[in-house]
Structures are given as structure tokens and as C-alpha cells.
Amino acid sequence: MSRTKSFIVATATTLCLSVSLLVSGTRRVHAENVPVIDITAKRFAFSPDKITLKKGQTVKLRLHSEDVTHGFFLRPLKLDEEIPAGQTTEVTVTPETAGTFTTICDHFCGANHGNMNMTIVVE
């Protein structure tokens, strides 16, 4: 390989690595600044049963099931998550619409499943 080609390849490789490190570093810093809200699901309630979010602010919802598999569904915020029994599911959301919304468990979890919901207020 000629000296010029070697220089071009080395420069391109360095540039790619630099951009990769910059992008991954930006994601890591951004992820650390995102507030986390813990929500626990168990027959037949979410805890807390009401949270307030700010329009345009990204948050991470850490959803945990204490017993059986539950769902976490809220169409206006484009949330449709499954929370496997005894596990945690994380989802990042940026609400774009203000209002009061009802999140439901959309995975049948027992006799009172139809009453399992929580309120999400976006201000």
C-alpha cells in the first residue's frame, strides 16, 4: 500500500473512532441526566397510583412486577409494555401532550384485572 493510502486509511480510522467515542459519550451523559420513576405492579394495582410528568421532559419509567406478568398500556404516550413476573422493564418516554391519562394493565392478571390502572398527569 502506498504511503498516501496508508495515511488516508489511518486518518479515516481515527476519525471514525473519534466520532464513535463522541457519540457514545454523549449518550452516556444524556442517560445519566434522565430522571427515573419506579413503578411497581402487583395484583391489582400500580404503586404509586399517580405520577406527574412535565411536557417535553424525558423520563425513564422503571416498571417492576412483584407477582405475575402485567401490562402497562397508555396509547397517548405510546406506551405498550409487558412487565414479566418478578422482573423489571425500563422504558424511556418524552410526553408531548399535556393532560390527565389513565394507564391500564392490558395483560390479564386475575379477577380484579379490570380495575388495575394508574393516572399519569402531564403538565
Computed over every residue of the chain, the mean pLDDT equals 82
Residue range 5-38, pLDDT digits in tens: 554 444 444 444 343 333 333 233 355 689 999 9
DSSP classification of residue 114: G
The sheet carrying 117-122 orders its strands as 50-53, 117-122, 99-104, 70-74, 79-83
Residue 81 has pLDDT above 90, yes or no: yes
